[in-house]
A and B are shown apart, each in its own frame.
Chain A
Amino acid sequence: MESLIYLMQGFGTALDPANLMFAAVGVILGTAVGVLPGIGPALTVALLLPVTFKLDPGGSLIMFAGIYYGGMYGGSTTAILLNTPGESASVVTALEGNQMARRGRGGPALATAAIGSFVAALIATAGLAFFAPLLVKVAVKFGPWDYFGLMLIAFVTVSATFGSSPLRGLTSLGIGLWLGLIGIDQLTGQTRLSFGVPNLLDGIEVTTLAVGLFAIGEALFVASRHLFNDEKPMAIKGSIWMSREDWKRSWKPWLRGTAVGFPIGALPAGGAEIPTFMSYTMERKLSSKPEEFGKGAIEGVAGPEAANNASAAGTLVPLLTLGLPTSATAAVMLAGFQQYNLQPGPLLFVQHPALVWGLVASLFIANVMLLVLNLPLVGLWVRLLKIPLPWLYAGILVFACMGTIAANPSVIELMMLVGFGFLGFVMRRYDYPIAPVVVGLILGPMADSQLRRALQMSLGDPMILLQHPGSAIMIAIASIALLAPFFFRGLSKFRQDED
């Protein structure tokens, strides 16, 4: 009940005219950057963080919410019109969405994605507002051992669900964990792997890593491939509005997508990739016109797009209540909160209820704003897609470097950014997933300090992790999730050898 009052107060703040303007600017900027090919929501948030630095915390959080939802929406536009999904979660949207655009139904595809995202985000944000306080009540009872168990699960699910093989995913995670070691250890003051470079003492900045891996790495990779592949954006022909039949075929997939997306996003189960694929398969089975799948079935856009957005709102549940980022976007958002001196976790709800509920209210408002602004502005977004690639990537690189040196004015920081860019390029070239690196960098030091806190409380006895039922169960889940793919792959390999 108390939280409802706070939520109402949050709406009061968010509906202030100046804040409404911040939300609108955030949504427009987020969409404009998110719509650029190759730029997913994580990168959109990372690139636009510097823009919000100097605003007051309330205003910047509201703008931030707008950027987040705007980036999500922009990604789906690119997937539909250009067939270049900016992130793995829009791969499925591109499947049917681009087919629809090719058949002159780009307008309804964009509309069902936008309205589906709206419906999903609305329900999922309401879910967030409902479940977060409940989870906070549980989370305040969590000991360091429980947090450690949770982080183990997050490590395994993040690295095992992304990428083409568990070895590659775990390697990405390992690189992230290793980068997380760098700097001064918070508990003892011991420096780790700083090699005498003063800039490394504070550790690696998450935004520098994310922008380097995603923006610079992507630019290098696209540059290396531009001779070999040439996608032109589809023109939107005909009406952009959905027909009565489109509505009829869309509303159930929206709701089903939301029902799949939100719980999977809220559990630390590895991002939006799985729910979008699940939703796609489900819609294909349930569709009255399964023959249209692969040729532009509207259900195949409506369902996965709703699942994508619902799971993105779902990842905010562990992020806000436990301080646990389970996707690259959530990791960058966590860095954003820390920039405003906010530490997500159960204490945030107790200490800054006005801010948390202000953010939840702004998510609602950003969502409405998105729907109101984006459908009429779709022509503008399409024009953005037509910026020639050379200028587009040149601009992205300038903006990415600018953001990093504006946040940390030093040449060393820029060199690290470029270094991460080349790392991102190599990882892309050899098919290593990027997201586990970012998640590893953030969660690694957190897992380290939780484990050590647990061991200090047990006077060094590691059995404490297994004596508490919560952490014992979570460690068991993590081990099973880690070993299962290797085991099953071993089995299938064994069978192949027998043939």
Chain B
Amino acid sequence: MSTPTASRLHRPTLVIGIGLFAIAAITWHDAANMKIRASYGMGADAASYFISIFLGLLGLGHLISAFRRQTDPEPSDWKAVLWVSLGLLSLIAALWFDLGFVLGSTLLFCFTARAFGRKALLADIVLGFVIATGIFLLFNKVLTLGLPMGPFERLF
């Protein structure tokens, strides 16, 4: 995986440093393209330039500390992270395609439960469905907040 030269370099710190440089560059570019100028004093672009420089310095700090000894993060269960991400994506997709809050939340609920090691998918779907419907009824009917509606929600 890692070559002997790369092992001395703490890769996550390096990546974060490069990311900070990228954000700094985008911010600088955005500030340079601002049209509205202040008549005197500081314009809206000044803060952008300042923060861009600040982020650049932080990026530099990360590059330097990438060469120092860093503690590695504790091991992670990436499969679990993937399951949670899948749940969040299902909710986004459900709202994107107007399928409603209840369907999206049910999927989010059972995928997250799966991430934490539950295998009883059917039970979790039922439980998630009941919770999502309960939240929907409470917020849409009692507190009159507008949660996104799909075919199922329009039945009420």
Which residues from chain A sit less than 8 Å from chain B, CB to CB? Answer: 50-51, 53-54, 167, 170-171, 174, 177-178, 181, 185, 187-190, 192-193, 216, 219-220, 223-228, 388-391, 393-395, 397-399, 401-402, 405-407, 409, 411, 414-415, 418, 421-422, 425, 429-431, 444, 448, 451-452, 455-456, 458-460
Contact = CB atoms under 8 A, between A and B. Distances in A.
A193 B112 contact: no
Counting from the closest, the 3 A-B pairs by CB-CB distance are A390-B116, A455-B41, A190-B44
Contact of B44 (A53, A167, A185): A185
B112 A219 contact: yes
A278 B50 CA distance: 36
B146 to A, nearest CB: 5
B147 A391 contact: no
B112 A401 contact: no
A146 B50 CA distance: 20
Contacts, number: 192
B47 interface: yes
B105 A398 contact: yes
Given A192-B30, A226-B77, A390-B116, A409 B148 contact: yes
Nearest to A222: B116
Interface string B94-123: 011000010001001110111111100000
Given A178-B23, A181-B47, A429-B73, 9 more contacts: A53-B143, A170-B58, A190-B36, A220-B81, A390-B117, A394-B109, A401-B91, A418-B88, A452-B46
B54 interface: yes
A192 B105 contact: no
Given A228-B74, A390-B116, A421 B51 contact: no
A418 B96 CA distance: 14
Contact of B62 (A171, A425, A455): A171
B114 to A, nearest CB: 8
B113 A390 contact: yes
A174 B148 contact: no
A448 B58 contact: no
Nearest to A449: B47
Contact of A178 (B44, B51, B101, B131): B51
B35 to A, nearest CB: 7
9 contacts: A171-B62, A216-B88, A220-B84, A228-B77, A394-B87, A394-B124, A398-B128, A455-B40, A456-B40
Interface residues of B, number: 72
B23 A431 contact: no
Nearest to B55: A174
B41 A398 contact: no
B40 A460 contact: yes
A395 B131 contact: yes
A178 B62 CA distance: 17
Nearest to A185: B44
B130 to A, nearest CB: 11
Interface of B: 12-13, 16, 20, 23, 26-27, 30-31, 34-36, 38, 40-48, 51, 54-55, 58, 61-62, 65, 73-78, 80-81, 83-85, 87-89, 91-92, 95-96, 101, 105, 108-110, 112-118, 124, 127-128, 131-132, 135, 139, 143-148
Contacts of A418: 88-89, 92
A456 B147 contact: no
B42 A226 contact: no
Contacts of A189: 36
A187 B40 CA distance: 13
A167 B65 contact: yes
Nearest to B95: A411
| B30, B43, B92, B112: residue with the most chain A Cβ atoms closer than 10 Å | B112
Contacts of A388: 118
Contacts of A448: 47
A177 B46 CA distance: 13
Nearest to A426: B16
B12 A401 contact: no
B35 A226 contact: no
A219 B101 CA distance: 20
A189 B101 CA distance: 35
A224 B116 CA distance: 9
A170 B61 CA distance: 10
Given A174-B54, A181-B27, A456-B40, A223 B47 contact: no
A167 B77 contact: no
Contacts of B128: 394, 398
Contacts of A167: 58, 61-62, 65
B84 A223 contact: yes
A397 B112 contact: yes
Contacts of A192: 30-31, 34, 44, 47-48
Contacts of A405: 95, 101, 147-148
